A and B are shown apart, each in its own frame.
Chain A
Amino acid sequence: MTCSKARKLMALYAGGDLSERRTRAAGAHLDSCPACRKELEGYRRALARAKAAAGAEIAPDWSEGQWRALMARVMGDATKRKKEQAGRVKSVPRARWAAASGAAAALVLAAVMLLQNGSGFRPGSVATAPGAAEPMAGVLGDPSAQDVVSVTLVSQETGLQVVWFFNRNFEWKGDRE
Chain B
Amino acid sequence: MRMNETEKELVAMVLAGRTEAFEPLVTPYRRPLVALAYRLTRDREEALEVAQEAFLRAFRSLGRYDVSRSFRNWLFQIAANEARDRMRRGARERAALEDAVHDGSRAPGPEAGREGQEVRADLMDCLSALTPREREVFVLRDIEELDIRETARALRCSSVSVRVNLSKARRKMRDAIRARHPHLEETR
Contacts and interface: CB of A to CB of B under 8 A. Distances in A.
Interface of A: 8, 11-12, 14-15, 17, 41-43, 45-47, 49-54, 56-62, 66-67, 70-71, 73-75, 77-78, 81-82
A66 B141 CA distance: 30
Contact of A53 (B30, B56, B123, B166): B123
A52 B120 CA distance: 8
Given A54-B143, A57-B124, 11 more contacts: A12-B163, A12-B166, A45-B174, A46-B173, A54-B124, A57-B35, A59-B47, A71-B22, A73-B56, A74-B19, A82-B17
A11 B34 contact: no
Q: Which of A14, A46, A52 has the most C-beta atoms of chain B within 10 angstroms of its own C-beta?
A: A46
Contact of B141 (A15, A78, A81): A15
A49 B19 contact: no
A176 B142 CA distance: 88
21 contacts: A11-B166, A11-B171, A11-B174, A12-B163, A15-B170, A17-B163, A43-B171, A45-B188, A50-B123, A50-B126, A57-B38, A57-B120, A60-B45, A61-B31, A66-B48, A71-B23, A74-B19, A74-B55, A77-B56, A77-B59, A78-B22
Interface string B139-175: 0011100001000000000000001001110110110
A15 B138 CA distance: 11
Nearest to B35: A59
Interface string B29-72: 01100110011000011011000100110011000000000000
Interface of B: 17, 19-20, 22-23, 30-31, 34-35, 38-39, 44-45, 47-48, 52, 55-56, 59-60, 116-117, 120-121, 123-124, 126, 138, 141-143, 148, 163, 166-168, 170-171, 173-174, 177-178, 184-185, 188
A65 to B, nearest CB: 13
Contacts, number: 113
A75 B188 CA distance: 52
A78 B143 CA distance: 33
A47 B142 contact: yes
Contacts of A45: 174, 177, 185, 188
Main secondary structure of the interface of B (DSSP, over half): helix
A43 B167 CA distance: 10
B34 A59 contact: yes
A75 B174 contact: no
